[in-house]
Amino acid sequence: MSVPSVLIHRDADLLAKAVAARLITGLVDAQAAKGSAHLVLTGGGMGISTLAEVAATHARDAVEWPRLDIWWGDERFLPTGDPERNETGARSALLDHVDVDPARVHPMKGPDSGLDAEESAALYAEELRKASRPEDHGPVPSFDILMLGLGPDGHVASLFPGMPALYDERPVVAVHGAPKPPPTRISMTLPTLRAAREVWVIAAGEEKAGAVRLALQESGPMQVPAAGARGRSRTLFLLDRAAASKLPPGLGRPASP
Ligand SMILES: O=C1O[C@H](COP(=O)(O)O)[C@@H](O)[C@H](O)[C@H]1O
Predicted confidence (pLDDT) per residue in 10-49, tens digit: 999 999 999 999 999 999 999 999 999 999 999 999 999 9
* Top mutation candidate among 19, 155, 212 for ligand 1, by most atoms within 8 Å of CB: 155
pLDDT of residue 219: 77
Query: What CATH architecture does domain 4-198 belong to?
Result: 3-Layer(aba) Sandwich (3.40)
- Average pLDDT, rounded, for the chain: 96
Distance CA 15, CA 53 (A): 10
The DSSP letter of residue 197 is: S
Report whether residue 171 contacts ligand 1, using a CB cutoff of 6 Å.
Answer: no
Distance CA 104, CA 120 (A): 18
> Does the CA dihedral 70-71-74-77 come out positive or negative?
positive
Q: Hey, where are the domains in the chain? A: 4-198
pLDDT at 252 over 80: no
Ligand 1 mean position, distance from CA 87 (Å): 12
pLDDT of residue 253: 73
Which residue has the least CA distance to atom 2 on ligand 1? 44
Asked if ipTM goes beyond 0.90, one says yes
Query: How do residues 196-241 score in pLDDT, each as one tens digit?
Result: 999 999 999 999 999 999 999 877 999 999 999 999 999 999 999 9
Mean pLDDT score, 68-81: 98
Query: How do residues 90-145 score in pLDDT, each as one tens digit?
Result: 999 999 999 999 999 999 999 999 999 999 999 999 999 999 998 999 999 999 99
Environment class of residue 176 by beta-carbon count within 10 Å: exposed (0-12), middle (13-18) or buried (19+)? middle
pLDDT of residue 118: 98
Report whether residue 240 contacts ligand 1, using a CB cutoff of 6 Å.
Answer: no
- Among candidate residues 247, 24, 4, 254, the one with its CA nearest the CA of residue 144: 24
pLDDT of residue 245: 96
Query: How do residues 143-192 score in pLDDT, each as one tens digit?
Result: 999 999 999 999 999 999 999 999 999 999 999 999 999 999 999 999 99
